[in-house]
Amino acid sequence: MRMLGLDMGERRIGIAISDPDGRVATPLKVLDAHVIYEPGPLRRLIEDYEVELIVVGLPLSLDGREGPQAKRVRELGARLATQIATPIEFFDERLSSTEAKRVMTEAGVSDKAKRGSIDMVAASVFLQSYLDLQRTRGEGEGL
């Protein structure tokens, strides 16, 4: 099952995509946050990649609580759900941006280049965590 990961920032939405088997997440692109209100570009991605599930990163606090940012993301996700037919799930995105910055720094990406792509890399970080968790759960069910 192919999945789309969305890292919903206030100005940008980072997007990552899984492979058709739902095993590997890859950064895809960054869109302006207004696509929540005019989801045409997002719909095209969903159709072009035959996405079956959207995983929205939920910015929980370090202690696991939902604060104002998580509430905003849940509201945006609910709005998006009224505009597209693809199911949406929320998934903990704690520290995904920090991990994305670390990975990009290790890869030698300049600070200027990071600004334009950090959101999609962060989306791929938490989408990969989601995929790994689903695969672990699936393997455990067969035991």
8-27 pLDDT, tens digit per residue, is 988 999 999 999 999 999 99
Sign of the CA dihedral running 109, 110, 113, 118: positive
Closest CA to 1 of 16, 25, 21, 15: 21
Region 75-102: mean pLDDT is 88
Counting the structural domains of the chain, the total is 1
- Within 3-110, residue ranges assigned H as helices are 40-48, 68-81, 96-106
CATH classification at residue 104 = 3.30.420.140
Q: What is the pLDDT of residues 35-78, one digit of tens each?
A: 888 889 999 999 999 999 999 999 998 888 999 999 999 999 99
Domain of residue 127, residue span: 3-141
Say if residue 143's pLDDT is above 60. Answer: no
